[in-house]
Structure 1
Amino acid sequence: MADDEPRLLDLRLLPFAGMCWAATLIGIHGGSRAAWVLVATLAGAAVLLAAGCALRGPGRWTAGVLAVLLFGSCCAAGTAWRVQAVERHPMTEFGRNEAWVTLVVTLADDPREIAGFGRHVLVNADVVEIRRATETIHSGGAVVVLAPAAGWLGLLPGQDVILRGQAGPPRHRDLSLATIRVSGPPAAVGPAPPHQRWAGALRARFVAAAAVLPADEAGLLPGLVIGDTSALPREVKDDFTATGLTHLTAVSGANVSILLGAVLLVVRGVGLGPRAGAALAAAALIAFVVIARPSPSVLRAAAMGSVALLALVTGRRKQAMPALAAGVIALLAWSPELAVDFGFVLSATATAGLIVIAPVGVDVLVRRGWPRAVAETVAVSVAAFAVTAPIVAAMAGTVSLVSICANILVAPVVGVITVAGAITALIAGVSVPVAEVVVRVTQWPLWWLVTVAERGARIPGASIPVPSGPAGAAIVLVAVVALGVTLRRRGPRLVLAGIAIGALVLWAPVWPSSLGRLV
């Protein structure tokens, strides 16, 4: 029993993380009024529970439930305060009235080209000043700028920009104040901070070094290493989406976990201990954050990747789960809008799958005679698909049926590409010609990755459309659970039944149109 104790999950912080996430989500989607109602409801429930304890004595779970209620009330109050500030902000009123404004903003991220929208970019920014004909308002807040690529593409985070554009309502309910549509280049641009200039120069040198590779591989490598997909051809992006490999090119917790996992494999290969492995992985994590820029999305990915590092290096899920819960709470307190961000949801769920599901799968496969390296690859791929497929369905309205196989096939080369790419990026900061020599190590692994994505996307039925939003998530979740239960029992009839149920549920969205044609 003592040997099993470290493998038990410590879930005591999980209800607090769930309550924090739920309170933040309700406040952002429902507005400040809903958030204040939630504060009163949770506080009232806590008072009633405390009164009942005083009359009848405390129960076994009373203290824990009371703590969760009070914590949730505090989280809801914090969210209500922030949402109320957004609702009362003058920029919110300008957005509702679609007024023209002159703004001084600080760029919070790199401008990103919008697919299928001509040569336009989206860029997140923080308001510094609102300049009107009769007044200047000094008030902060997040806005999204939609602008032509000319004059905007290539700007760096941290630069102050003066622009004039038409305000509109926010694109999403995420604590942003407005969307600003700009028809030309910025009126004035300030200098970028030194660390952002250094990071921008390093990224540009890395892209220049990767340019010696064929076009598809040259565009893919920066995406895999630092999440820069600006040079990735549209066909390759579509293939990655169809085969469930898009997560490899996103700055997410999965991206960081791949880097740390590759470092771990090297550490195991040379026989270093866990402490040395943790030190090298931490160094790789810091290098990744510097090169990819410490934007909120990258810091969120680093936090989730750090939790994955704890689970992989120590093998102790008991410590990893509280670390994940604490990381979720800290990130939501720092940036509440992450509660409605699909990237954050994918990072948190993928990390939870790595902690909870993957080790169980590894143990089962190893007991059946599988080599541990193969068992880890398969278990991680299956766990990642099981926990993220419903979220991807809600986000994109598709489910990749070849995702598990594609991820298993590319798993052996992703570590090589990530490590070699990171080394290339660091060398490029010193010498681009030397980096051009080193980067050729990644050519064949990148070719394999592109080939798997291309061939997998050509398989009939590789990607199945489902309704987007909660309906799609529910459909895929039912299918995944049904298939998982039947496969676990290994009965041939149950397996066939599970496949049939999964197929029927996945194809449910086409039933109405099929019935309509029959009638």
Structure 2
Amino acid sequence: MTPQPPTAPTADRLDVRLVPAALAGWGVTAAGIQWRIGGTLAVLCALLAAAAVALCRYAGRTRRPGWRLAGAALAAASMVGAGFGWAVALRTESVAHHPITAAFGGTATVTVTPSESPLSVGARRVMFRATLQRLDGAESSGRVMVFASGMDFAEVMVGQSMAFRAKVARPARRDLTVAALTAQGQPRLGEPGPVARAAHRVRARFAAAAGQVLPGEQARMLPALVLGDTSAITAATGREFRAAGLTHLMAVSGANVTIVCGAVLFSARLVGPRAAAVLAGIALVAFVIVVQPTASVLRAAVMGAIALLGVLSARQRQAIPSLAASVLVLLALAPHLAVDVGFALSVIATAALVLIAPVWSARLVARGWPKPLAVAVCVAWAANLVTAPLIAGISGRLSLVSTLANLAVAALVAPITVLGSVAAVLCGWWPAAAQLLIRFTGPELWWVCRVAHWTGGAPAATVPVPEGVTGVVGVGAAALLVVVCWRWRWCRRVLAALALCALAWSVSEVLTGWAGVGAA
């Protein structure tokens, strides 16, 4: 009888060895920025690491493998925390003693390079983050927040330097920003670099092509969904998408990066896995440059790069190690992401899609659900459940229709992203083909806009909740209670009855409004 080879370890076993280190680095960095205690935390982590090493040695002598493993994990996480603690202590110290602090309350001539497109903050006012280059003629550095007139700063290009006179104030948030600048007058624009110029040209041509082919609302929405360009989105559309819980579609996060890289890998499968991974890496870099490296895009890009390296080295990498590694790499390169809400939402949502959604979808499939429907429902439910506490704490509102809205548009995100990305590439040298592809996105965009309008405009689409920590804890506790109680049939029936009552009330309100009942 031929001997059987040893059974390989299961491929679906979660590898969480990097998770404690990522959590330690994230927590220490966030606390160091918020309360400026990075040095103290570094010392505490170093002492904890020494104690963990002593525990490892004691467990080795007494032959207690469980203790030894726990000690090793604690030692590794503590050493990572100590390193991140010293790093953030140096960063916060340099921010506190930055030369621009002497100009607080006064004015100065500054030269900055925008790192993101401007966002509207009111009537003809915009804001954007930038990197400080010069301060009153002297070379400088640091992250700044710029507030300016939308008319004077109508042409803000990422990567293009601009000089202007500005009022200098202390930053409102502790996020390693050295100052808040209020621009006075028009800026003197510098010469943008070739990369920034190419990215701006792609975004401008894509928006122009969409405007020539699609109706107004759809033309404004396509650049937002594909490239994260929300400059043309109206305030009313923004409110509807926020109420419907669909604003993440305009943030160009991990879903978009995954779709783009996956499409490249699929189309290049004939050239072999290594060549396909190289092509996907090139597409990843180009995509990040064009859409601009925001927190969620950076997180998704680094995670995608780690996965591509795994393909190139013929080693399979699971999502959790990739996510933990991306958190460590990004926090080392950009510590301010530790207190960035968008970064936190992106990481938490990705973890939920990896850890929670597959378990729930497997249970639904076992009960007879079609697998595609089960996966779609569980992905939407898991992502909304874990991100709801943070969103509620920030906005003071909780969307009750977000799961339904995300489920209604889930199947259309991929075709919009793929067709739009290819059209953006073709806009420069084959406009006719780009416009043809853009036309095919029209029905999908119409449906996404209609879903946002119907769900976001429904009565009680959102409910008020306390802001801040109270809202986070309250909504988080409610979400946990729903998950725990869902295992009992009577609880599921009660929740289903409440959902049906809310739906019936919303439908009756809509029908009453259409019929004009009660109108004067």
TM-score under structure 1 length normalisation: 0.85
1:41 maps to 44
Equivalent residues in 2 for 1:374-393, closer than 5 Å: 374-393=373-392
Given that 1:16 and 1:72 are in contact with CA atoms closer than 8 Å, whether structure 2 keeps it comes out as: yes
Deviation at 1:48, TM superposition (A): 4.0
d(CA) in 1 for partners of 2:493, 2:270: 41
Deviation larger for 156-165 or 292-301: 292-301
Q: Confirm or deny: 8 A CA contact 1:6 1:317 kept in the other structure.
A: no
| Counterpart for residue 86 of structure 2 | 77
* Residue-by-residue CA offset, 1:296-353 (whole Å, 9 max, x unaligned): 66333422455788999xxx99722111111100000000000011111111111111
3-state SS, counterpart of residue 186 of structure 2? coil
Following superposition, the deviation at residue 145 of structure 1 comes to: 1.1
Q: 1:252 to 1:55 in 2, by over 3 A?
A: closer
Q: 1:190 aligns to what?
A: 190
Unmatched segments (≥5 aa) in structure 2: 1-5, 502-520
In structure 2, the partner of 1:199 is 199
Q: Is the 8 A contact 2:29 2:338 kept in 1?
A: yes
Name the SS of the counterpart of 2:146 in structure 1: strand
Alignment of 1:10-29 (within 5 A): 10-29=15-34
- The CA distance in 1 between the partners of 2:386 and 2:295, in whole Å, is 23
Change over 3 Å in CA distance of 1:69–1:189 after alignment to 2 = same
Give runs of aligned pairs for residues 363-378 of structure 1, distance below 5 A: 363-378=362-377
CA change 1:139–1:366 in 2 (3 A) is: same
Structure 2 match to 1:128: 133
Q: Which residue of 1 aligns with 2:512?
A: none
- Once structures 1 and 2 are overlaid, which stretch shifts more, 413-422 or 332-341? 413-422
Aligned to 1:513: none
CA displacement at 1:21 relative to structure 2: 0.3
Q: Distance in 1 between the 2:262 and 2:482 partners?
A: 28
Partner of 2:168: 167
**2:96 is the counterpart of 1:87:** yes
Shift of 1:152: 1.7
Q: Classify the secondary structure of the residue corresponding to 2:185.
A: coil
Alpha-carbon offset, residue 438 of structure 1: 2.4
- Give the letter for the 2:46 counterpart: A
In structure 2, what is the equivalent of residue 511 of structure 1? none
**In the aligned structure 2, how far is the partner of 1:309 from the partner of 1:354?**
20
- Is the contact made by 1:26 and 1:35 (CA closer than 8 Å) also made in structure 2? yes
Deviations 1:201-232 (A, max 9, x none): 11111001111211111111000000001111
**CA 1:397 to 1:257, structure 2 compared with 1: closer, same or farther past 3 Å?**
farther
Q: Which letter maps to 2:485?
A: T
1:103 maps to what in 2? 110
Residue identity in the other structure for 1:43: A
Structure-2 residue corresponding to 1:299 = 298
Cα-to-partner distance string for 1:363-417 (whole Å, 9 max, x where unaligned) = 2222223333222212211121122111211222222111111111111222121
Where do residues 316-331 of structure 1 align in structure 2 (5 Å cutoff)?
319-331=318-330
- Say if 1:308 and 1:351, in contact at 8 Å, map to a contact too: no
Q: 1:138-177, aligned counterparts within 5 Å? A: 138-177=139-178
Q: TM-score, normalised by structure 2?
A: 0.85
Secondary structure of 2:148 counterpart: strand
Question: 1:59-111: per-residue Cα shift (whole Å, max 9, x none)?
Answer: 3222221222222111101110111011111113323xx12111122222223
For the Cα contact (< 8 Å) 1:260–1:309, is it kept in 2?
no
Once residues 386 and 277 of structure 2 are traced to their aligned partners in structure 1, the CA distance between those partners, rounded to angstroms, is 26
CA distance in 2, matches of 1:494, 1:85: 54
Q: Aligned with 1:145: secondary structure?
A: strand
Where does residue 448 of structure 1 map in the other structure?
A: 447
Change (3 A) 1:158 1:399: same
CA–CA distance in structure 2, aligned partners of residues 355 and 317 of structure 1: 16
Cα pair 2:303 2:325 within 8 Å, conserved: no
Give the whole-Å Cα distance in 1 for the aligned partners of 2:382 and 2:484. Answer: 14
* 2:431 counterpart residue number: 432
What per-residue deviation string (whole Å, max 9, x for no partner) do you get for residues 10-47 of structure 1?
Answer: 1111000000001100110001xx21111222222333
